[in-house]
Amino acid sequence: MDKERRRRYEQYRASVAGPVENTLLDEFGDGELDRAEFLRRATMFGLSASVIGAALEALGHAPLAFAGTERGTAGGRLRVGCIPPPAHGLDPHTYADTGSLVTGNIAGEMLNRTTSTGTLVPELATSWKSNAAATVWTYELRKGVKFQTGQEMTADDVVATFKRLVDPNSGSQALSAYKGVLSPAGVQKVDKDTVAFHLDAPTGGFPFLTSSTTYQAIILPANYQLGTFEKTPQATGAFKLTSYTPGVGATYQPFEGWWGGKPALDGVDLKYFSDDAAVVSALLGNQIDLINEVHVATGRALFNNPNVQIFSAHGATHRLVPMLTDAPPFNDFRVRQAVALSLDRVAIRKRLFNDLADLGNDTPFAPVFPSGVKLPQRHKDIRKARQLMAAAGKSRGFSVDLTTYKAFELPLLAQIIQRSVKEIGIRMNLKILTSTAYYAGSQLGPPKGWGTTPWLNTPINITDWGGRAIPNVYLTASLKSKGVWNASHYSNKRFDSLANSYIGSVSLKDQRKFARQIELLLQHDTPAIYPYFYFQLGGGAKRVRGYHADPQGLVYLSHTSLA
Amino acid sequence: MSTIASPAAGSEARIARRETLRQLLRSPTFLTGAAIVGFWVFCAVFGFAIAPHDPQDQSFTPLLRPGGAHLLGTDNLGRDVFSRVLVGAGDILKVAPLATLLGIAGGTVIGLVTGYFRGLVDNVISRIVDAWLALPVIVIAVTALVALGASTITLIVVIGVVFMPIVSRTVRAAVLGERQLEYVQAARLRGERAPYAMFVEILPNVMGPIIVEATVRLGYAIFTVAGLTFLGFGVQPPSPDWALQISDGYSLLNDTAHQGNYWIVLFPGMAVASLVIGVNLIADGISRALER
């Protein structure tokens, strides 16, 4: 490292960097973080590439390498198969299902983006920075960004978009990420190119919540009219949505005014599928070039096929098996532990994912989260499980219904669980509903209870949970006493306070301290089983270039091309 | 018939029945059908005892090809396909006959009423039945099952109710032929009430078409249960039900590198087909015997 760079680096630390940045740089210097974790957190806290590079060099690491995207030249239209079709309209703040988030996010962009390796890259914001307590985050917006309507993007547009996203009365699905973190009054314009977020509670990982992880956070013009997303192109992305037919498909044309230049593709044709076998056959039959999401259990034909490339993103997407902690038979933690100990997770991972998944350890801290602590892996232990059942006075077992729905590998997992708990005397009856029936009914949320919907009110069920770049939503929505998606009805004051401490921590050391306590507590209480965290997989023809699977299931095509 | 029948007429009916039975037992069509259906009934009852492996045992290597220790291979959860095919008739043989019975009972009542009364009653009920018949069976059944939730009982009730109007048309046609005959007129002149005339006088004389209708309906009921199960609304996992096996396995069919894992789908498919063919052969045999 030359003298001049070191001088600039030290100057940055002394005058520009706040306590958040310096804590991170110290942690990296002390060896608390490895290189990948440092990069992830450095991008989260908004350190510039030059500072990150200087820090790496100062501590004897290889400099940052900027890999160019491998790019084809042919132009051409990319044909994308999307499963399943959007369930509702396309107003971005209402996205809750894969079909709509895929459709909207080909055209839309966020302030920043989470990459397939878990780092953050700038998009419509060029930098972000927090105060020492991680309660105020200030974002500098990219200059010269145009909406597809032709108008220029300013702080007013970002403020209007975020006020809608955090408004409890707007029907926003992004509240799962922002509830208790950000309120409408906290979204403030500083000047034409700067926005500040004044948070309700300290949140170290806040920049992830403005990124593609919150797939509803597409920036729209301040004068956006609800219900017009599919009618008028008005996002900022490389492609504009030019036609949309519900249940059939959508087409996109390149946006000439895109701030990123000219996309390589001549356009995108999106086609909806409702059936795994049909979309797989379409790719094998060269009717489409790319599938947004494939599964080992239902897409075996694609794996080891020489004409197909599989895109994989290590993520936190998982299946949750919550057990109702406030009613028999699962109101005794020993019974819940016994169920967890009856599962042979290694065999399940092999059978359902051909090992393309991480083992779960009954906490939401997926191995992909660096803030988690690796506790000893929970394995099948029938002897111990029987002892626990006996201690709980249930040595003769009991009958119970397990509810889930017919999609992906869920029915297969249900059958494996049913067979596994048979060994400890639990007679499990399976109720495999349609996805509509499974998510039907009211979802009032506390303090009114959890409504009537099966997925929040059945003794034991299996629910699919999307990936997130940080575990905050998993902790707040599915485990905190007042969590809106707390399907276990788990209520533990100590957990609530630990979760708050974890979310408010800025340093990795503190996060790990609280994460360890949370993990130990959750393994003891076992309000839910996390059997595995599977990799987000996509499939494509060999001629697709520059595409990466997204840990949240988005299809990002701005830098994709065809050979 | 019974009240005006002489003892000689009664024995004539008995002789006719015995003759029909004799015809049936000599009919190769009927016997083949009965053998096939009998085989599956036997498997449904004793399958768990004769199957080489526990049909729910997931401990084998998944997706093994047919041959060796697993005659018909193993499925994607590592269960023995042969054992599952053997016991897979259980649920379908419970649901389909009960649904058929319900459909026949309800349809017969509607058919008797519409055929016997004619006039306004016939017009109103028949138009409703016509409208009902215009809707595809599977669509009505799926809608009802989504609304009521899938369980064995609802499945039986839904298929039974969906079949009632279809059965009622056959019964009504048969009743129309009978109601003009003298024995019905005689009963009316005697001042018998309508229910008596319908159920005691007419019903025994239209039993032939009803029995044929019942066997034909049973074939359709098996298809309907299988179809609904395939769509996810019928029999629930982990039942080794044939249609459920097909539903679980068909997405693996495009895996050409592994021969499409055809054995998971082909063998349960052949089993469903053989059961339906067996039932239809029985229906054919009965219908021919009754014609003679």
User: CATH 3.90.76.10 in chain A, residues?
Assistant: 109-209
Coil/strand/helix, residue A519: helix
- Kindly state the DSSP code that residue B259 receives in the 8-state scheme: G
> Contact A213/A468 with Cβ under 8 angstroms?
yes
Does residue B253 belong to the interface with chain A, where contact is any CB pair within 8 Å? yes
Rounded to a whole number of angstroms, the CA Rg of chain B reads 23
Regarding predicted confidence, which is higher, A297 or B77? B77
pLDDT of residue A68: 45
User: CATH 3.10.105.10 in chain A, residues?
Assistant: 318-532
Closest-CA distance of chain B to residue A523, Å: 27
Instruction: Compute the half-sphere exposure of residue B98: CA atoms within 13 Å on the CB side of its CA.
Output: 14
Superfamily the domain A239-314+536-562 falls into: Periplasmic binding protein-like II (3.40.190.10)
Closest-CA distance of chain A to residue B97, Å: 23
Does residue B144 belong to the interface with chain A, where contact is any CB pair within 8 Å? no
> Contact A551/A118 with Cβ under 8 angstroms?
yes
User: Of B254, B257, B261, which has the smallest distance from its Cβ to A304's Cβ?
Assistant: B257
Fold of the domain built from segment(s) B37-61+68-291: MetI-like fold (1.10.3720)
- Kindly state the DSSP code that residue A552 receives in the 8-state scheme: T
Q: Do A412 and B248 touch (CB under 8 A)?
A: yes
Residues of A in contact with B77 (CB under 8 A): 351, 412, 415-416
Does residue B262 belong to the interface with chain A, where contact is any CB pair within 8 Å? no
* Closest-approach residue (CA) in chain B for A303: B255
Does residue B154 belong to the interface with chain A, where contact is any CB pair within 8 Å? no
| ipTM attached to this prediction | 0.80
* Closest-approach residue (CA) in chain A for B230: A406
For A457-507, what is each residue's pLDDT tens digit?
Answer: 999 999 989 888 889 989 998 999 988 889 999 999 999 999 999 998 888
The CATH number that domain A318-532 falls under is 3.10.105.10
Please report, in tens digits, the pLDDT of each residue of chain A (563 residues total).
567 777 778 888 887 777 778 888 888 887 777 777 788 788 888 887 778 888 887 777 776 654 444 555 668 999 999 998 888 889 999 998 889 999 999 999 999 998 887 788 999 999 999 998 889 999 999 999 999 999 999 999 999 999 999 998 888 888 888 988 999 999 999 999 999 999 998 988 899 999 998 999 999 999 999 999 999 999 999 999 999 999 999 999 999 999 999 999 999 999 999 888 889 999 999 999 999 999 888 788 888 788 999 999 888 999 999 999 999 999 999 999 999 999 999 999 999 998 999 999 999 999 988 888 889 999 999 999 999 999 999 999 999 999 998 888 899 999 999 999 999 999 999 998 887 788 888 877 677 788 899 999 999 999 989 888 889 989 998 999 988 889 999 999 999 999 999 998 888 889 999 999 999 999 999 999 999 999 989 999 999 999 999 888 899 999 999 98
Rounded to whole angstroms, the Cα distance separating A558 from A503 reads 32
> Contact A120/A44 with Cβ under 8 angstroms?
yes
Residues of A in contact with B238 (CB under 8 A): 414-415, 418-419, 430
Task: State the pLDDT confidence band at B148, using cuts at 50, 70 and 90.
Answer: confident
Does residue B149 belong to the interface with chain A, where contact is any CB pair within 8 Å? yes
The helix (run of H) or strand (run of E) holding residue B40 is: helix B28-50
Residues of B in contact with A280 (CB under 8 A): 251, 254
Does residue A87 belong to the interface with chain B, where contact is any CB pair within 8 Å? no
Does residue A351 belong to the interface with chain B, where contact is any CB pair within 8 Å? yes
Closest-CA distance of chain A to residue B154, Å: 14
For B119-144, what is each residue's pLDDT tens digit?
Answer: 899 999 999 999 988 888 888 888 88
* Closest-approach residue (CA) in chain A for B232: A406
Residues of B in contact with A342 (CB under 8 A): none
Closest by Cα among A134, A114, A122, A131 to A49: A122
User: Of A275, A351, A430, which has the smallest distance from its Cβ to B62's Cβ?
Assistant: A351
Superfamily the domain A109-209 falls into: Dipeptide-binding Protein; Domain 1 (3.90.76.10)
Would you state the structure tokens that stand for residue A558, as one six-digit string? 């701005």
Per domain, the residue ranges of chain B are 37-61+68-291
